[in-house]
């Protein structure tokens, strides 16, 4: 547990003032007195220990704007993990993201604030399931969403994220592809490619709950609404949206097109985080919480950095084959 000795001194108040300016719409002033010393101590420890904090776009704003060095979607975090010179990487996201960082940096210490931060997609498929799919579809290469365990990545030909799934599929010299484990991402990509995708029945417990009628109801209340959906949503939901893309691609769309009123059909913290650099945009917030992402909190990050635990481990014999699949993904040229 984090100690209570951290104090909201005038120095802490001064150092954290620029962060508070970003967070003031989310954090009541009274809470800031407790939060600011934790943020300040995490930022001090990062320098002392040459640690890098990678944070996914679904982290709460106090983490995203308060302590993260790099923020982004799964693809951006994997790329950063592959290139860092830090001694310690703290992954603020879910377990498969920390495993990816470990596979790319087996000699570094990779920390995650809560080892229980899982993912319904990752937990829905095993390496044995992949072997069975290969038996059913002989010769078809396996494209695996990064939201999977190291064991599944190790029996994969090439990984993908929601930001590059189409490019990865198109890069393969094959007409039939085993695409796992997200059935909805698979069906959304199937609409964009002539290749035949063999799918698995996995889904994201956050995105599979959105419905087309929810989107239609939003549009009937909000005129000129731009709806952006994550491709883990069912295709019927994506069909109601103006744009579908990874969390980072949604942000690029906003930067480029400046919509005035937006509904991001994805995890709840995304709108909070993106609203900070776009104060002129009105965010309508229909959202679902990811209970796994929400296990990561500032006090747990501080404990992890102080104790350098829990550290993420990956079986020695999985590292090389899983890395081949991740490297094959990182080698695919973006469009």
**Interface with ligand SF4 by CB under 6 A: which residues?**
94, 119-121, 147, 204-206, 232, 267, 290, 292-293
CA–CA separation, 299 vs 306, rounded Å? 11
Write the binding mask 186 to 215 for ligand 13P: x where contact by CB under 6 A, - elsewhere.
------------------x-----------
Count of residues that bind ligand 13P according to CB under 6 A: 14
Select from 20-28, 69-77, 81-89, 306-314 the region that touches ligand 13P (CB under 6 A).
69-77
Angle between helices 316-330 and 95-104 (to 10 degrees): 90
Question: Who contacts 137 (Cβ-Cβ below 8 Å, separation ≥6)?
Answer: 176, 178, 198
Residue 246 touches which member of ligand SF4, ligand 13P, none, C-beta under 5-8 Å by kind? ligand 13P
Residue closer to ligand 13P by CB (options 75, 304) is 75
With tokens 């101590």, the residue in question is 41
Please say which residue, 37 or 181, places its beta carbon nearer to ligand 13P. Answer: 181
Q: Which of residues 119-148 bind ligand 13P (CB under 6 A)?
A: 119, 147
- DSSP, res 202: B
CB 159 within 8 A of CB 108: no
Task: Examine residue 100 and tell whether it contacts ligand 13P (CB under 6 A).
Answer: no
d(CA 195, CA 66): 43
Which of these ranges, 61-69, 126-134, 160-168, 235-243, lies near ligand 13P under the rule CB under 6 A? 160-168
Give the Cα separation of 232 and 226 in Å (integer): 18
74 counts as binding ligand 13P under rule CB under 6 A: yes
Stretch of residues binding ligand 13P (CB under 6 A), selected from 40-48, 158-166, 183-191, 298-306 = 158-166
Which of the listed partners (ligand 13P, ligand SF4, none) does 120 bind, with a CB threshold of 5 to 8 Å by partner kind?
ligand SF4
Residue 314: partners with Cβ closer than 8 Å, 6 or more residues away: 99, 102, 103, 106, 150, 322
Question: What 3-state DSSP class applies to 144?
Answer: strand
Measured CA to CA, the distance from residue 69 to residue 84 in angstroms comes to 11
Tokens found for residue 33: 């007195």
Least separation in angstroms between residue 121's CB and ligand 13P is: 8
DSSP state of 43: H
Residues 213-252 that bind ligand 13P (CB under 6 A): 230, 232, 246-247
Distance from chain centroid for Cα 58 = 6
CB of 156 to ligand 13P, least distance (A): 17
Say which entry of ligand 13P, ligand SF4, none residue 111 contacts (CB below 5 to 8 A, set by partner kind): none
Q: Which does 74 bind (CB under 5 to 8 A by kind): ligand 13P, ligand SF4, none?
A: ligand 13P
305: tokens are: 């950095």
Question: How near is the Cβ of 119 to ligand 13P at its closest, in Å?
Answer: 6
Tokens found for residue 194: 């002539």
Classify the C-alpha dihedral 237-242-245-250 as positive or negative.
negative
Closest CA to 291 of 314, 272, 267: 267
Supply the minimum distance, in Å, between the C-beta of residue 139 and ligand SF4: 29
Residues within the interface to ligand 13P (CB under 6 A): 57, 73-75, 119, 147, 161-163, 204, 230, 232, 246-247
């Amino acid at each position: 547990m984090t100690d209570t000795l951290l104090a909201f001194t005038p120095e802490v108040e001064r150092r954290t003032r620029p962060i508070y300016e970003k967070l003031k719409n989310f954090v009541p002033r009274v809470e800031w007195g407790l939060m600011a010393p934790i943020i300040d101590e995490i930022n001090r420890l990062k320098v002392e220990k040459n640690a890098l904090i990678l944070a996914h776009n679904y982290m709460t704003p106090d983490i995203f704007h308060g302590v993260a060095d790099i923020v982004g979607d799964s693809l951006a975090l994997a790329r950063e993990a592959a290139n860092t010179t830090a001694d310690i990487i703290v992954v603020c996201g879910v377990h498969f993201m920390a495993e990816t960082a470990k596979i790319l940096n087996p000699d570094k210490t990779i920390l995650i604030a809560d080892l229980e931060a899982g993912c319904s997609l990752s937990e829905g498929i095993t390496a044995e399931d992949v072997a069975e799919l290969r038996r059913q579809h002989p010769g078809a290469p396996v494209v695996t969403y990064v939201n999977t365990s190291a064991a599944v990545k190790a029996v994969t030909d090439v990984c993908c994220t929601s930001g590059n799934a189409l490019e990865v599929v198109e890069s393969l010299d094959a007409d039939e592809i085993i695409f796992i484990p997200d059935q909805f991402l698979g069906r959304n990509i199937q609409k964009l490619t002539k290749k035949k995708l063999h799918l698995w029945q996995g889904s994201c417990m956050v995105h599979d709950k959105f419905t087309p009628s929810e989107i239609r109801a939003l549009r009937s209340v909000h005129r000129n609404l731009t709806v952006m959906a994550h491709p883990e949503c069912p295709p019927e939901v994506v069909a109601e949206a103006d744009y579908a893309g990874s969390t980072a691609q949604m942000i690029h769309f906003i930067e480029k097109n400046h919509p005035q009123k937006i509904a991001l059909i994805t995890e709840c913290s995304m709108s909070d985080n993106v609203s900070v650099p776009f104060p002129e945009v009105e965010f309508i917030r229909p959202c679902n919480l990811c209970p796994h992402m929400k296990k990561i909190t500032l006090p747990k990050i501080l404990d992890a950095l102080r104790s350098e635990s829990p550290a993420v481990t990956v079986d020695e014999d999985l590292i090389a084959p899983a890395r081949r699949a991740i490297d094959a993904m990182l080698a695919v040229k973006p469009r």
